Every structure is written in structure tokens, then in C-alpha cells.
Amino acid sequence: MKVYYLLKTSLLSLAAHKFRSFLTILGILIGISSIVLISALGKGAQELIVQELSGLGAETLIVRPGKEPKGPSDFAQVLFSNSLKERELKAIRREGAVTGLVLAEPEVIVTGSVAYKGETFRPLIVGFSAEAMIDILKMKLSEGKPFGEKEAKERKRVAVIGWRVKKELFGNLSAVGKVIKINGKNFKVVGVLEPRGRVIFFDVDDLVLVPYTSAQAYLGATKHFQSIIVKVSSPNLVNEAKEDIEKILRNLHNIKDPEEDDFHVRTQKGLVQQVENIISYFTVFLVLVVAISLVVGGIGVMNIMLVSVTERTKEIGLRKALGAKQSDILKQFLLEAVILTTLGGILGIITGLVLALLGSWLLSKVLGIVWTFVFPLKAMLLSVIISSLVGIVFGIYPAIQASQKDPIEALRHE
């Protein structure tokens, strides 16, 4: 075909300077591969996070100490604030205080290890009602029974352990009824959770649950809670319940201005929204980075095309002498620029896909996160369009320069 002949005769010069041409399209390659990578991994991340947060249940609220973290400095407050204690828990649990309240359970965290007959394991030790946990996460026990409020009141030394903890300590033997040592203290295993894997920000299979009062009494857990988990009877009541809790705690702490809050209440909807916000900020930032790299890449292409036009002045003169019109030369050089940038785009797509596949492989195989690789078809099509547009935008000026060369001047060019 005619186009084939044109490309063959015109791309020779780009082909003769392979390395230079490659450097030229590197900017485009990086920009486009970022687009593909972001959309492949970003979608997966969003899906994962939203899916995990949905696992929390729409009727659950989390009350945490410290004001809602808006920046990194606020996180310290959350970690060190001791605004949630027994008094606050009682106030929330008071009959009729919180609309639709089903349960309100505090959570304290213990660091340490568990041991059974020489086997030790470092699990996630949490003082939290096992009944509440299986209710909120809609789980079952694979053996035994959970513990709840009664055991907490009596500071019972009982534990419900996660699937992996059981495997590590007991192998295939039954764990129920056995006495394990948590930080050296004896606790009786009453139940084992069914396997579940990661949920939200922790791995259920690594859990060891004990009554929070027992954690405080025997395992050195703080008197204040890391959070209070609240469940209401219907998702429709979540907002009302949130307002109730805020009112109760502000009253209790004499807070008039919500800005002064020493606690915050999170809901699933709020969390999802927050995550989506973070992702969209992140996306805007990345789009900016991509745009910059495409502009830089485009300028590189423009530069190399201008160099090419100068180098090939004679060729342009010859083509014109043999009957090429201005528009023929314009089209030829524009086509060259578009081919250059589209090639960069295609290489970018391949690079992006490879990185995304590698990334999801790492996430799922190495970190054990259940990851769905989203094939970014839209982003790929968009990438091809964007990269050829970059070629047109940044190739038009050199192409015009080429087309306006005077044939005889061009032929005489040394």
C-alpha cells in the first residue's frame, strides 16, 4: 500500500536513530504506563477497600478517642487519647440513650505472644467480646462457643482464637478446653473462629480474643479503650445513633464546640466515603503527574522532530522537487510524530500492564491479599488516543516547518 511505502521511506531516519527515538518517547512511555498502572491497581484497590469495608456491616459504628484525624499529626492524638473509658461505655449502653442500640462493646489491644506446650505464636491479642465479633463480622465458630458480657463481668480467663493461631499451636488437634499461655498467663480456649482471612485492617485468622476486662486485669491492657464498637438494629438508624453518641459524649465531657471533640464516630458509609475521597485526591495528583510527563514527553518529541526536519532538509527538498505538495510533507511529518508517540503509548501500555500484573501477583502471593486484577481496557484505549493526540499537538509545529521549506533552498542545504 501507498502508506506502507510512505512509512518505509520516511521512518528510516527515525529507525536509523533508534536510541535517540527511544529516549524521545520515554516520557510518553512513563506517562502512559502510569495511566495503565493506576487504573489497573487503583480499581483493584478501590474494589478491595470498599468490599472490605462492606464486610464491617452497614449497621455498625466505631467510636474512637481523639478528634477525627484530618492529617498525620492528628493520628498521635487517636493513639494516645484516653477519652473513652468505662464511664463513657456505661453512658452509651444506658437504656434508650442511643437509638436502636443492639450492642456496644469496648476494645483494648494487648501486645505479646501466646504459647502452648513449647509452640509460640505472636497473634493479634484483642480484649473484645467474641460474641460481638462473630455477630458483627457474621462469622461462625469452627468449634466451641464464644464468650460475651457475662465473662467480661467476671473477668474470666477465656479465649477464642483465630484459625491460624489454632493451626500454629495445636495443628490438627482440637483446641477447645486446652489452656494456653498469653504473655505467661493461663487462659482457657473456649472457641475457634472459622477461617476468614483479612477483614478491613487486620487478619481475623491471627486473632486471639479475650474479655476486655481480663485483658485489663491480667495482660496489662490500658484502662481506656482503643474503640467502642456499636451496633444498631438497622442501617437506617446509623446516622441517628451517631448523633446520639456524639451528644452523650459531649455532655459527659462538657464539650460545647464540636471542633473540640475528644472522640469521633465512624460509620461504614463515612469510611467508604473517606477512602473514596483519598483515592480521588490521589488520582487527581497522579493525573497531574501523568499530564506533566506527557507534556514533557511531547516537548521531547517536538524537539526531536525539529532536529529531524533540519537533518532531512535535503530529503524534504527532493520530495518537493519530485512533486510533493506542502500538504504531503505536512502529513508525512505529522504521521511520523504520531507514530513515535503512539509507539511510546503502546510500549507504555505494555509496561503498565506488566507492572500491574506483577503488582497484583505480589499483593496476592506475597502479602496474601485477595486481589482482583482489573484489566484496564478503557484506560488502554484512552492511552492510545492520548498518545496519538500528543503526537498531533507536538508534531504540528515541526511538520509546518518542514512543509514550508523551499525546494531549491532545501536541496542546496549542507
Partner 1 sequence: MNLIELKDITKVYSEGKIPTPALKGISLKIEKGEFLAIMGPSGSGKSTLLHILGMLDTPSSGSYFYKGKEVSRLNPNELAKIRNQEIGFVFQAFYLLPRLTVLENVKLPLLYSKVPYHKWDGLAQNAISKVGLAHRKNYLAVHLSGGEKQRTAIARALVQDPDLILADEPTGNLDSISGKKIMEIFQRLNQEGKTIVLVTHEREIAKLAHRVIFIKDGKLKE
Minimum separation from the CB atom of position 24 to partner 1 (A): 20
Q: b or e along 297-310 (b: 16 or more beta carbons within 10 Å of the residue's beta carbon)?
A: bbebbbebbeebbe
Cell of 95: 437504656
The partner residues of 64 in beta bridges, in order of sequence, read 264
- Give yes or no for a contact between 363 and 30, defined as CB atoms under 8 angstroms apart: no
CA distance linking residue 57 with residue 199, whole number of Å: 11
CA distance linking residue 314 with residue 380, whole number of Å: 38
Minimum separation from the CB atom of position 343 to partner 1 (A): 19
- Indicate the residue among 385 and 408 with the shorter CB distance to partner 1: 408
Minimum separation from the CB atom of position 409 to partner 1 (A): 9
Minimum separation from the CB atom of position 413 to partner 1 (A): 11
330 alpha-carbon distance from chain centroid: 46
- Indicate the residue among 260 and 409 with the shorter CB distance to partner 1: 409
- Indicate the residue among 9 and 372 with the shorter CB distance to partner 1: 9
- Indicate the residue among 41 and 324 with the shorter CB distance to partner 1: 324
- Indicate the residue among 286 and 400 with the shorter CB distance to partner 1: 400
What residues make contact with partner 1 under the rule CB under 8 A? 1-2, 5-6, 8-9, 12, 16, 314-315, 317-326, 328, 407-408, 411
- Give yes or no for a contact between 118 and 249, defined as CB atoms under 8 angstroms apart: no
Helical (H) or strand (E) element with 271: helix 268-311
Minimum separation from the CB atom of position 332 to partner 1 (A): 9
- Indicate the residue among 29 and 324 with the shorter CB distance to partner 1: 324
Measured from the Cβ of residue 382, the count of other Cβ atoms closer than 10 Å reads: 16
- Indicate the residue among 173 and 322 with the shorter CB distance to partner 1: 322
Among the listed residues 336, 315, 311, the one whose alpha carbon sits nearest the alpha carbon of residue 324: 315
CA 7 to each of CA 300, 302, 371, 410: distance values in angstroms, whole numbers, following the listed order: 21, 19, 43, 21
Minimum separation from the CB atom of position 314 to partner 1 (A): 7
CA angle at residue 395 from 392 to 396, to 5 degrees? 80
Minimum separation from the CB atom of position 1 to partner 1 (A): 6
Among the listed residues 336, 377, 340, 335, the one whose alpha carbon sits nearest the alpha carbon of residue 356: 377
- Indicate the residue among 46 and 310 with the shorter CB distance to partner 1: 310
Cell of 412: 542546496
Minimum separation from the CB atom of position 327 to partner 1 (A): 8
Minimum separation from the CB atom of position 369 to partner 1 (A): 52
Can you state the percent helix, strand and coil of the chain, rounding each to 5?
60, 15, 25
Minimum separation from the CB atom of position 37 to partner 1 (A): 37
Minimum separation from the CB atom of position 293 to partner 1 (A): 32
- Indicate the residue among 12 and 278 with the shorter CB distance to partner 1: 12
The partner residues of 159 in beta bridges, in order of sequence, read 189
- Per the document, the length of the chain is 414
Q: b or e along 92-106 (b: 16 or more beta carbons within 10 Å of the residue's beta carbon)?
A: bbeeebbbbbbbbbb
- Indicate the residue among 259 and 414 with the shorter CB distance to partner 1: 414
Q: How many helices (H) and strands (E) does the chain have?
A: 14, 14
CA distance linking residue 364 with residue 362, whole number of Å: 6
CA distance linking residue 204 with residue 48, whole number of Å: 16
- Indicate the residue among 321 and 385 with the shorter CB distance to partner 1: 321
Q: How many Cα atoms sit within 13 Å of 130 on the Cβ side? A: 28
Among the listed residues 38, 22, 23, the one whose alpha carbon sits nearest the alpha carbon of residue 290: 38
